[in-house]
Structure 1
């Protein structure tokens, strides 16, 4: 599956700087609102040490990691849901992503203006989330009106839809995001079809100043943000966009030296990608052969037949069996032959639940 994440936030909070660091795209990051008008797309390889350990054993001609697509969406402002600051256009871009990465500014810089005139990441987060919620409320009101007309025309099949939309609209009108709405399993597909913005999983990115990274210190702004995120039962990662952008421009050897100077184990952006995987409840499996070792992304607890469909629909339609062993056994024993000799290759059917790190060979017939 192709994973797509949208980077959102107020203008001048460092979204484009973080996007540049992720993608090494070097797009404009000027000091004025709406510097980013059209969303910028960047495809990034997912850090995967296991993939390269497998490749060391198999020695394939080609190594193909899985990827994430990042979208740098222009800064949203108060009133975006009503079209302020080209808001309707920007909100429509968010509909296309799987997860929202919400950048909030936690750094002071007199040379970079803030549209609200002060540094307050909690207030910024509230503004953005209010606009997302107002956009959802508008969608629900329009859908409810259409459903109500059919319902009044004795279209009894719309009764359940009408009642669900009414419950969900009441929930959102109470200031609550769609993701906290309780629904029955039979209602899941209808809710999903609405493509509501507040239904999407969100990860906060606190963009800190360099000093906070160097000295590993937190100030009241950061503490307040932490408390805000905890109350929402969400997650936040802390990084410095400027540092990450500089790291991304270095050669591998230079990166290690730079990270050591800042007492960092890995680039913050590695954590960002891994947290996003966790947020979306994703896992990886591998296909291994002399021509290619490749990583594939699937939702956790996917069946073998669904994993087959990730590669090609023919694999899914003609699925017979799947030969499976775990990558950790391959790395430990040093060859696929040794894994087979140890009796660790299993033949599984279509309902097998794929584990993170499985190596799979699909048998199919069309």
Structure 2
């Protein structure tokens, strides 16, 4: 008899399983968060002021995701309606030393981070006597230490509370399946607590599927993906040199290895945001540089493990956002919740195939159009036609 195939354990991701995920712009006071928010969202929300706690309630806006594939499809189909993918971004109040114990706007700030799925962490690496620093001077590695410590301390508080609640239940004892499950959860919570007390972030741990199921409902701050945005002066950004950068890169390598790091100049982005697209393009050409914002948005989508599929036609071209690895019925559910329940099959081919062959008829003639069922894992760039039954009343 042939040997049995080993069942591959599916990796469960940290974080919420949804597709409409949100990112928060986080950092100490006066590092450029609100100005970045205005530039990235091209709106006047946020409150870029030169004093701490200028932002109290988190502002929210949707940012269009730049994608050459979507642009090509719109040019190809010339549809009546065009709907790009977007990413929801929050501008969150500045953190300060002691936030985890309620200093400044501590608890409100941390609850706002708890509500987002990923973090843009803005690190100030520019000198400007006009813009005060909440700690008195510019020292990016100290700022990174403060934020890292405050998020971890708050997580320890969350996990200790969860441990307390579980202990109340496991004290009853017994051999039931429910009790066994509770004790397993308690062991996982102890493991998370030890990890945090050891000065490590939850997202950097190797967690099994059952452990992830315990971690996710805790909404831990250090479990969220982080993209570090290094805020440089315009001069440093254009010449791609900065005196603070080597130490910052060393800190990230030691404390957050593998997390994306992007240099950005918020003052440069703010200036470009006041121009028309043509003027901004001309300015970038003159300076031999370009806006970092498209890369910032795309990098965050990657950090959130997001992908896209498309629905196309002369009526509408639309880009839909999904988590990588989801199956066709769940992707159909993103279009309409009923479609997930009544999913029958999908007709699928990939954007790359369409671009290679030029049009749908050529793709069909080449036998590249597939019909897939409920187990099909949707790939980034797939073009789908969903077939679903009538919803039950």
TM-score category of the 2 structures, normalised to the smaller one: over 0.9
Identify the range of structure 1 (326-335 vs 221-230) with the bigger mean alpha-carbon deviation.
326-335
Q: Choose from 248, 272, 293 the match for 1:247.
A: 272
Matched, 1:344 2:368: yes
- Counterpart of 2:69 in structure 1 is 50
Q: Choose from 234, 239, 248 the match for 1:225.
A: 248
Q: When the two structures are superposed, what TM-score results if normalisation uses the length of structure 2?
A: 0.90
Q: Is the 8 A contact 2:21 2:117 kept in 1?
A: yes
Matched, 1:119 2:138: yes
Q: When the two structures are superposed, what TM-score results if normalisation uses the length of structure 1?
A: 0.96
Matched, 1:101 2:125: no
- Counterpart of 2:41 in structure 1 is 23
CA distance in 2, matches of 1:323, 1:104: 46
Residue-by-residue CA offset, 1:193-234 (whole Å, 9 max, x unaligned): 111000000111000011112222232x11110111122212
Query: Any stretches of 5+ residues in structure 1 without a counterpart?
Result: none
Q: What is the CA RMSD across the aligned residues, in angstroms?
A: 1.3
SS for the counterpart of 1:343 is coil
Matched, 1:143 2:162: yes
- Counterpart of 1:179 in structure 2 is 203
CA distance in 2, matches of 1:353, 1:190: 25
SS for the counterpart of 2:326 is coil
- Counterpart of 1:79 in structure 2 is 98
CA distance in 2, matches of 1:71, 1:302: 26
CA distance in 1, matches of 2:48, 2:33: 8
Query: Any stretches of 5+ residues in structure 2 without a counterpart?
Result: 1-18
SS for the counterpart of 2:89 is strand
- Counterpart of 1:317 in structure 2 is 341
CA distance in 2, matches of 1:343, 1:355: 18
Q: Is the 8 A contact 2:93 2:105 kept in 1?
A: no
* Aligned residue runs from structure 1 range 180-329, under 5 A: 180-219=204-243, 221-231=244-254, 232-233=256-257, 234-264=259-289, 266-329=290-353
CA distance in 2, matches of 1:25, 1:58: 30
Residue-by-residue CA offset, 1:100-142 (whole Å, 9 max, x unaligned): 0100100000011101111111110110111111111001111
Give 4+ residue runs of structure 1 displaced > 4 Å after superposition. none
Residue 41 (structure 1) shift: 0.7
Residue 28 (structure 1) shift: 2.4
- Counterpart of 1:166 in structure 2 is 190
Residue 16 (structure 1) shift: 0.6
- Counterpart of 1:331 in structure 2 is 355
Identify the range of structure 1 (180-189 vs 343-352) with the bigger mean alpha-carbon deviation.
180-189
CA distance in 1, matches of 2:271, 2:123: 20
- Counterpart of 1:134 in structure 2 is 153
